[in-house]
Amino acid sequence: MPYSAILFDLDGTLTDPKLGITRCIQYALSELGYKPPDADELLWCIGPPIKESFSRLLETSDNGLIDQAIALYRRRFSTIGLFENSLYPQIIDILQKIRFAGYQTFVATSKPHIYAKQIIEYFDLSLLFDAVYGSELDGTRTVKGELIQHILITENLTPSTVVMVGDRQHDIIGAKLHNLTAIGVTYGYGTEEELKTHGADLIAHSPEEIKKLLVHSS
C-alpha cells in the first residue's frame, strides 16, 4: 500500500460541531457587548484557529480583546459546547475499515488537544486512533502546518506515506507544506473550489468516499 498513516481533521471531517462552536462564539460576543451574528453567518469560523476568527469578528488586532473573547468562548465550550456536536454518518464504519486495512490513524486538529481528546472519548472513538493531536491553549500549533510537522516528528512518519483528510483550506495548505497527499472533503464546511484551489489531490463527497480512496477491497 502506498500510504501507511492517515491524519484526520476533527471539525467538519469527523464531527459536525456547528451548534457548539456557533453558540459559544455568540456567547462570547454577547458577553463583550457585541450583537452576535446568526449561526449560519458564523460557519466560516468552523475550521480556522479561533484567534483568527475573533480577530475578524471583532475587527481588531488587539490581543487583549481577542484573548478576552477566547476566554469567554472557552468558558462555555469546555463545559457545554464541546458536547453540542454530532458524528457524521458512517464515520465509525469507515474508521474501522481503514484501521482494519492496516493504516495508522491520527486526529490532527487546530482545536486544543484537551478538548479534542474529550470529544473523541465522548463519541467512543479512542480505540480507532493511535493518538489525538491538537493545539495548546496558549495557541501553540494552531497553524495546521506546524501541527502536522509536530505529528510527523513525534510519530516518526515519512511524509510520502501520509495522507491528510480535511474540509478546509488550512488542512490542504498544511498538508502540501510537508508534501503529504491531501484529501479534501466537501460534506464539511469548505467548498470543493476552496479545497482544489489550495491543492487538494483528491476530493471525497462523503465519508464512504474517503474509505474508497484508501481501502481497495472488492
Inter-helix orientation angle 63-77/18-31, to 10° = 130
Cα within 13 Å of Cα(191), Cβ side: 5
> Which of these, 11, 13, 4, lies nearest to 200 by C-alpha position?
13
Evaluated on CA atoms 46, 50, 73, 38, the torsion sign reads negative
Alpha-carbon distances, residue 126 vs 103, 120, 130 (angstroms): 15, 6, 8
Identify the active-site residue in 9, 11, 16, 171. 9
Amino acid letter for position 194: E
Cα within 13 Å of Cα(52), Cβ side: 12
| The C-alpha cell that represents 29 in the structure block | 460576543
Active site residue 9: yes
Q: Please name the residue that has the C-alpha cell 474540509.
A: 167
Q: Which residues are catalytic?
A: 9
